[in-house]
Each structure stands twice: as C-alpha cells, then as structure tokens.
Amino acid sequence: MATTDTPTASEDRAAVLRDLLPTSARRRPRIGLVAGGLGTYWPQFPDLLPQLKESAGYVAERLRRMDAEVTDVGFVSDAEEGAAAAERLRRTDCDLIVLFLTTYLTSSMVLPIARRSHTPVLVVDLQPTERMDHARFDTGAWLAYCAQCSVPEVGNVFRRARIPFRSVSGWLRQESAWRRIEQWIRAAHVRAALRHARHGLMGHLYPGMLDVSTDLTLLPATFGSHVEVLEFDDLRHRVERVSEAETRERVELARRVFTLDDSVVDEDFAWGATVSVALDRLVEDFGLDSLAYYHRGLDGELHERLGAGMILGASLLTARGVPAAGEYELRTSVAQLASQSVGAGGSFTEIQALNFEDGVVEMGHDGPAHLAVSAREPLLRGLGVYHGKRGWGVSVEFDVQHGPVTLLGLGQDADGSLSFVTSEGTVVPGPLLEIGNTTSRVDFGRDPGEWVDAWSATGVGHHWSLAVGHHAADFRAAASLLDIEHRHV
C-alpha cells in the first residue's frame, strides 16, 4: 500500500496553533554523562579503550538529540577519576546522570557519582552489537561485551547505600533499548520542569472542596518548586491597564483560534479578551509556569467578573505551555505541567457521567482547556451561568482527539506525601454534551463503574490532567526520579 506524508487536519491545526500561540520557553533538562571501564585493562589490551570511547561518543550524540543539555564529563578508569567526575557533575546540577558502563568496572568507581551529586542515576550498558563473534574473539574483544557483569554489582551497592537503582541493558544501536532510555530522558523533562517551576495560586479555595486543599510547603519540599501566592487584585491592577487596542488585538487572535458560537455576547467576548491580555502580563511579571485560581465573588462585582472572565485567557495560556486550572486546583496544574513536559498536552478534567451501554467514562470540565488535545477547531460558547459558580461569560468547548490518552493526577496522602496517579484509556467517538465544556468518552477496557471505584481508591482527588498518548511509563519513571510513589489503574 502506498503511503503519503500529507499532513492530517489535526496536524495542520496543531501547526497553526503553534504559530499563533508559541510555546513558553522553559529550562531544558540537564543530563550528565559519564562513561567508564576498569583501567587495568588498557595496557593489557591496547585496542579496547579506543573502541569503548567510540561507543561513548555515540551515546553522547544520541542523548543530545533528545532536547536536553548534555554535560559529558568523559571517561573514568579508576576510583580517583570517578570521584573527580562526581564533583564536576555535582556542580552541573543535573536532572539525571547517565552512567554508561562500557566494560567491567568496580563499584567503587561509580558510587561517589551517585552519592555526591544528589541526582538520580540511570545505569546504561550497551554492548557493541547483538552478539559476540565467538570464533574470532579474543579476551580483549570479549571485554567490550562484559559491562553487564558490573550491573548486579552496582545494583547491590546502590541498594546498600540506599540509592535508587535504575538500568537499561542492551546493545549500542538497539532501538528498543534507546526507547527505554528516551523514557528516562522524558522523565528528566518532568523533573526539570517541576524542580524549577513557579506555580501561581490566585484567589481562594472553592468552599467545601477539602480534597483540593494542598499544603503549600509540600511542593518546594518534594520537588523544589515555588508557589507564588497571588491576589485577584494582582490581576485587577493589570486589567485596568489594558488598552482598547490590545483588547481588539486579542479578540482578533481568538477569532483565528476559535470558532464562535452564536451564543457569544460581544461584550463578554471583549471582557474575556481584556482579562486574557492581563493574564499574560501577570504570568510574565511573576515568571509563572502554571496557574491555579478561583474567586467566588458577589452580585456581579469586579472580582466576580474577573473570575468569570478567566476561561479564554487561561485556555490560551495553557496552549502556550503555561497550564491553568480553575477551582484553585494547584495539584492539578502541577499534573498538567508534568503532562506538558512530555509533549502530551494536559487538560483540566473530571468525571462527568458513565455510559454503561457503551462502556465508557465521560469526562471533561468547564473552564480552561488545552487546545492541543482538541479533535477539531475549538468552540467559544457563551454561557449565562457557570454551574456551581457565580458569573457568566464565554467558555471553551471541544471534544478530545480520538485515540490513546493518559490521565495523570497528583495525589496527597494522610502523611502529606505526594504521588503520581495514572490510568490509560482510549477516547472513542459518540454523543457529547454541548455545554461549553471539554468533553471526551474514554474506554478503559473495563466496566465504567469498576474503573471509577479503582480510580477513586488511589486518593487522586476531584480533578486531573488528561494527556494525549499513552504515557504512564513516562510518569512512572518521572515518579522514580522525583522520589514519589506511582499508582496505576
């Protein structure tokens, strides 16, 4: 069958969105690389070290293709060189260290790298080819294939030193092995994003939603990130300084991004555009990587109108890689940022209903949505009432792309510890509500009620991030690097 490289409608739309809403720049993950082998071999087998260094160069080149800053500290041959490499890596402040075992080495050569750097380590051993040529190989040629004999030794010592052990074993150009390595690099993207993130938290808790309440100390203590506590007056101050010309320009941008439903009221549309401009300034002024917000308001006063006018601007921010979540959902905005970090979108989501006839869970949310997960051009719908909230205005509506999706929630347990909670399913076609919500029908391959019971038992909370593609393995790896628990349904 002939193939074609003609872009799909979804790909065309994604390209247009990237042009209109360029992604916010974010610090790339820093990957440390150190290769090693036992120096005793070099004078015994002169051809061995050049071969191993060639393999190390290939590994470095492959890692640099993964949108990461790679610091290669070279090749170590004894414990002293290992200690020197550890010091260099400590100063680099890496998100992940890749330890490439090229042949046998002693665990004393690599333990300092893990201990002194205070950075997660991935042990990689990739022999030169699929198998040895037994008839032609001598001892020197064999030694290029025996890195595996170090892996159990390193695993044992790491365990005794209470250092988490991770490894990928394979051969140098084995793509399945490289896919496993790429998974760890994607996990490093998540760790980098959460370690350095500045999370905006604006307004107050939705009254009564105890699950949403989050100890603000936990995020810096667990990830190293910062929570910037904001007032709605910080937004009001910036709204007052938006010019009419800036509002018109934002309205025109929104017309290029969205289809406008007949229910949209021009005055409400303009107000949402004004708030959107002010939101961009708020994010820029405070250097935010995410935003969670809620304000109840009263009788149409200004702060109520600000809260009601957030959806357009928050959706545009989310599309640019600065995820926004309503209802003061700080943990969900963190989960959305993690989803964004692996290139999977990440839209604010909750359960809407169950369809036992079709075997699907219907889920979505009103409020901000990630435009990158839309199956069609997103719609702006005018709403005279926001259910459960005060105010009125424009809301974003679309159905999620059909195909594989991953849910990622950030749970918090009784002892305060955080966890990644995931589930993978498939979005399937079918009837959807048309009420200004992001909506989807997700088939988890089991009875919808049983899935809800299992999902709820994880302690995931009311909301989570919905990302396109199956990424539970990426988030499991990221949880390992972040030293938090991962639970999968």
Give the pLDDT confidence of 35-93 residue by residue, as tens digits: 999 999 999 999 999 999 999 999 999 999 998 999 999 999 999 999 999 999 999 99
- Sequence-distant (≥ 6) Cβ neighbours of residue 451 within 8 angstroms: 361, 423, 444, 489
Question: Are 318 and 412 found together in one domain?
Answer: yes
| pLDDT given at position 3 | 42
CA distances from 382 to 247, 259, 315 (A): 18, 12, 15
Question: Are 222 and 302 found together in one domain?
Answer: yes
Residue 483 predicted with pLDDT over 80: yes
Distance CA 111, CA 391 (A): 59
Mean pLDDT confidence for 106-116: 93
Mean pLDDT confidence for 270-280: 95
Tell me the per-residue pLDDT of 232-249, one tens digit each, with 9 for 90 and over.
999 999 999 999 999 999
Q: Does residue 18 form part of some domain?
A: no
| pLDDT given at position 437 | 73
Mean pLDDT confidence for 403-429: 94
Residue 4 predicted with pLDDT over 60: no
Question: Are 213 and 173 found together in one domain?
Answer: no
Confidence of residue 10 (pLDDT cuts 50, 70, 90): low
Residue 335 predicted with pLDDT over 80: yes
Alpha-carbon dihedral 359, 444, 342, 256, rounded to 10 degrees: 0
Burial of 380 (0-12, 13-18, 19+ CB in 10 A): buried
Confidence of residue 465 (pLDDT cuts 50, 70, 90): very high
Mean pLDDT confidence for 318-329: 90
| pLDDT given at position 383 | 72
In this prediction the pTM is: 0.90
Residue 343 predicted with pLDDT over 70: yes
Q: Does residue 205 form part of some domain?
A: yes
Q: Report the domain count for the chain.
A: 2
Q: Does residue 417 form part of some domain?
A: yes
| pLDDT given at position 132 | 84
Question: Are 190 and 203 found together in one domain?
Answer: no
Confidence of residue 130 (pLDDT cuts 50, 70, 90): very high
Residue 182 predicted with pLDDT over 80: yes
Confidence of residue 1 (pLDDT cuts 50, 70, 90): very low
Q: How many residues does the chain have?
A: 489
Mean pLDDT confidence for 272-301: 92
Confidence of residue 262 (pLDDT cuts 50, 70, 90): confident
Q: Which CATH number do you get for residue 70?
A: 3.40.50.10940
Note whether 334 and 268 are within 8 A (CB): no
Question: Are 118 and 242 found together in one domain?
Answer: no
Q: Does residue 375 form part of some domain?
A: yes
Domain that holds residue 160: 30-194
Q: Residue 338: phi, psi to the nearest 5?
A: -60, -45
Residue 259 predicted with pLDDT over 90: no
Note whether 313 and 326 are within 8 A (CB): no
Question: Are 209 and 169 found together in one domain?
Answer: no
The overall longest dimension of the chain from CA atoms, in Å, is 87
Residue 440 predicted with pLDDT over 50: yes
Q: Which tokens go with 306?
A: 């600000």
Question: Are 186 and 242 found together in one domain?
Answer: no
Q: What is residue 109's DSSP assignment?
A: G
Question: Are 222 and 209 found together in one domain?
Answer: yes
| pLDDT given at position 392 | 62
Least confident span in 229-233, 368-372, 399-403? 368-372
Tell me the per-residue pLDDT of 11-43, one tens digit each, with 9 for 90 and over.
666 667 777 777 777 788 999 999 999 999 999
| pLDDT given at position 367 | 66
| pLDDT given at position 73 | 95
Q: Does residue 214 form part of some domain?
A: yes
| pLDDT given at position 401 | 84
Percent with pLDDT over 90 in the chain: 67
Q: Does residue 17 form part of some domain?
A: no
Distance CA 420, CA 234 (A): 31
Residue where a domain terminates, one of 177, 194, 211: 194
Question: pLDDT higher for 207 or 472?
Answer: 472
Looking at every residue in the chain, the average pLDDT score rounds to 90
Residue where a domain terminates, one of 178, 194, 210: 194
Q: Which CATH number do you get for residue 430?
A: 3.20.14
Distance CA 475, CA 399 (A): 24
Mean pLDDT confidence for 459-484: 94
What residue type is 408 in one-letter code?
L
Residue 300 predicted with pLDDT over 90: no
Confidence of residue 2 (pLDDT cuts 50, 70, 90): very low
Question: Are 414 and 366 found together in one domain?
Answer: yes
| pLDDT given at position 433 | 75
CA distances from 34 to 53, 121, 124, 172, 329 (A): 11, 11, 10, 16, 40
Residue where a domain terminates, one of 137, 164, 194: 194
Question: Are 44 and 157 found together in one domain?
Answer: yes
Question: Are 96 and 238 found together in one domain?
Answer: no
Q: Does residue 314 form part of some domain?
A: yes
Question: Are 130 and 258 found together in one domain?
Answer: no
Q: Does residue 19 form part of some domain?
A: no
